[in-house]
Structure 1
Amino acid sequence: MGTPLGDFVRARRDSIQPESLGLPDHGRRRSPGLRRSDLATRAGISVEYLTRIEQGRDRNPSIAVVNALADALSLDPAERNHLRYLAKITGGECSAHVRSAPARRDVRTSVLRTLRLLEPGIAIVTNRVGDILAHTSAFEAVTSGTGLLDTDAPNLTRYVFTDSRARTFFADWDDVADEQALDLWLGPSVENSEWITAELAPMAGADFTRRLNRHVVPQRGALRLNHPSGRELRLVRETLDLSSDAQQLVVFLPADEGTDLAVEQLRRPSRSHLRVIS
């Protein structure tokens, strides 16, 4: 049985073309990407050891080995952080601690006060599984008519993978889907895993499972939205990590004057109010 660490290393190896690293092309292969022997050589480890990591038979590689693999795979900073995180949760000594608590749904009073100060801006509080726990009135205006907030307990991850409207609303749906799948790894409690396995995966289908296990680390550039009103929005995201609560406060800023004007037009009919869902 594989591990998150092994799955990520194997997926990244399969995505690398040898010539991009200055290595010779050995011709047709049964599988794409970099040969296991080439990666092992670049990382300074044996092929047998790399095989054990990829297959999940070695769950506790040293920090030096993890860093060597990051260098050998030419990972960018975000991918390196994800690799180190996966090494942490894969290791037996850390898994019990990391998997001990469910996703928190209540929002601290001080966080709600902070969110209120952000009105009339666009902002939300979410937990690691994508539950939208609180939001400003501007966020409601920007997502009006999309179906995202239609349920009593809106969840961004479930919306992205199970609501057909999401593929129109998010202009770069593939990137957003990869983001949501990757973020689930940041809160791998027992309760979260049960929700993913029992509820989300059956509804979301094979595409969700594939994205979850291939660990693509997106660049998280400007978020492009196609609002049902016909307006096109480009938003820059700034995220404040609320690590003690396993939550995050996300602020969406207009990336250009056209978006700024469009947001103002969408916001105009609604009165400023803060909504707490949890």
Structure 2
Amino acid sequence: MSTPLGDFIRAKRDSIQPESFGLPARDRRRSPGLRRSDLATRAGISVEYLTRIEQGRDRNPSSAILIALADALSLDPTERNHLRYLAKITGGECARRQPPAPPNRHVRATVRETLRLLEPGIAFVTNRLGDVLAYTSGFELVMRGTGLLDTGTPNLTRYVFTDPRARTLFPDWDQVADERAFDLWLGPSVETSEWFTAELAPVAGQEFTRRLNRHLPPPRVPLRLHHPGGEELRWRRETLELPSSDAQELVVLLPADEATTQAVERLRRRSRGVLRAIG
């Protein structure tokens, strides 16, 4: 039975061109990527042991092994953090867990006050499932008419995969979809991620399910939006993790260019909004 850790290592290995590590190019008739024997040699472990990890027969590799694999795969800091996270949840998969349940949707008063201080900026509170829990009037202004905020419990992940309007709003839809699927690995907990995935998969279809086993952190690039009012917006994103007990994060969207700044000013002149917190 495969595990999140084994799936990630195998997916990362398959994504590496051997020549990038100074190894001979592979025969085109073979599967792409780095051979298991090559990775085992680079990590200083046996092929048999690497096979057990990838196939889920060894669920508790030591920290030294994880570091060796991270070095052998030339993982960047984000990927190394993800590797440690997957090792943690893989090692605990055999333990008894509480039944999956929705995450806490309460936003603390101090966080709501922080949003008020960010007015009239574009900011919102979310979690790794994509729940939009609270937001500034600037965020409401930018998202008005997109369909994201039409429900009482808006969720960005569900919107991306089930609302046809998302493909118009996000010109780089594939990039956004990769980000949303990947974030499910990061919480707010294994149980709630499983609960959300089970709920969403039947309605989201193959575009969602085929991304669940990809396990490779997508690159973080500027976010592009095509506003229903005809404005083209480009954003830099700053994400601030809230305490782990909240399992939430504060996301601030900053204009990536002068054209976006001017476009937002035009939107503000045509419309006004207020801060809302969604319970």
| Map of 1:211 onto structure 2 | 211
Give the secondary-structure state (helix, strand or coil) at the position aligned to 1:134.
strand
Per-residue displacement from partner, 1:35-66 (whole Å, max 9, x unpaired)? 11111111111111111111111111111111
Judge conservation of contact 1:129–1:192 (CA < 8 Å) in 2: yes
1:52-131 maps to which residues of 2 (within 5 A)? 52-92=52-92, 102-131=102-131
| Map of 1:153 onto structure 2 | 153
| Cα shift at 1:75 | 1.2
Judge conservation of contact 1:103–1:128 (CA < 8 Å) in 2: no
Gaps of 5+ in 1: none
| Cα shift at 1:94 | 9.7
The 1:159–1:101 alpha-carbon spacing in structure 2 relative to 1, beyond 3 Å, is: closer
Where in structure 1 do 4 or more consecutive aligned residues deviate above 4 Å? 93-102
Q: Aligned AA for 1:170?
A: F
Identity of matched residues, %: 73
Give the secondary-structure state (helix, strand or coil) at the position aligned to 1:268.
helix
In structure 2, distance between residues paired with 1:163 and 1:30: 39
Per-residue displacement from partner, 1:178-227 (whole Å, max 9, x unpaired)? 11111111223424312311x20111112212212111212212111111
Judge conservation of contact 1:88–1:94 (CA < 8 Å) in 2: no
| Map of 2:49 onto structure 1 | 49
Per-residue displacement from partner, 1:131-178 (whole Å, max 9, x unpaired)? 100111111111122111111111000011111211121122111111
Judge conservation of contact 2:141–2:273 (CA < 8 Å) in 1: no
Q: Aligned AA for 1:76?
A: D
In structure 1, distance between residues paired with 2:24 and 2:87: 30
In structure 1, distance between residues paired with 2:44 and 2:202: 41
1:168-183 maps to which residues of 2 (within 5 A)? 168-183=168-183
Give the secondary-structure state (helix, strand or coil) at the position aligned to 2:213.
helix
Per-residue displacement from partner, 1:9-35 (whole Å, max 9, x unpaired)? 010111111111110124134421111
Q: Aligned AA for 1:273?
A: V
In structure 2, distance between residues paired with 1:161 and 1:48: 39
The 1:17–1:129 alpha-carbon spacing in structure 2 relative to 1, beyond 3 Å, is: same
| Map of 1:229 onto structure 2 | 229
RMSD (Å) for aligned C-alpha atoms: 1.9
In structure 2, distance between residues paired with 1:158 and 1:70: 32
In structure 2, distance between residues paired with 1:220 and 1:77: 13
Judge conservation of contact 1:124–1:134 (CA < 8 Å) in 2: yes
In structure 1, distance between residues paired with 2:42 and 2:94: 28
Gaps of 5+ in 2: none
TM normalised by structure 1 equals: 0.94
Per-residue displacement from partner, 1:44-100 (whole Å, max 9, x unpaired)? 111111111111111111111111111111111111111111111111289668998
The 1:205–1:139 alpha-carbon spacing in structure 2 relative to 1, beyond 3 Å, is: same
In structure 2, distance between residues paired with 1:26 and 1:262: 49
| Cα shift at 1:273 | 1.4
In structure 1, distance between residues paired with 2:216 and 2:228: 29
Judge conservation of contact 1:142–1:267 (CA < 8 Å) in 2: no
